[in-house]
Amino acid sequence: MFVEGLIEKKINSYKSGINLLIEGEKTRRMASTLMNTESSRSHTIFTILVETQTTEDDMIKSKKARLHIVDLAGSERVKHTNVEGERLR
């Protein structure tokens, strides 16, 4: 599967994760419609993969957890929004 604009970054702190969220928010497209003054025109998916490793009895044990934060673009009915042209596409 190919997702245009997808990036993966490794972080080691909570603050780094917040900074990535802020960076991603700057690239989102927002526009007003008749139904919503701040309608999102793009989907956003932020996935956090947390990994821990411990050593017990000369064996490395790891645990992984994934958290997906999803914000979908506005789904207003087009005929009620008066959106046209590039914004509609």
The conformation of residue 49, written as its DSSP 8-state character, comes to E
Domain boundaries in the chain? Answer: 33-89
| 47 to 8, 21, 44, 66, 77: CA distances (angstroms) | 9, 10, 10, 7, 29
Q: What pLDDT, in 10s, does the model give residues 49-89?
A: 888 889 988 898 999 999 998 877 665 555 555 656 665 55
Rounded to whole angstroms, how far apart are CA atoms 62 and 65?
10
Q: What pLDDT, in 10s, does the model give residues 1-13?
A: 677 777 788 888 8
pTM recorded for the entire structure: 0.54
Q: How many CB atoms lie within 10 A of CB 43?
A: 11
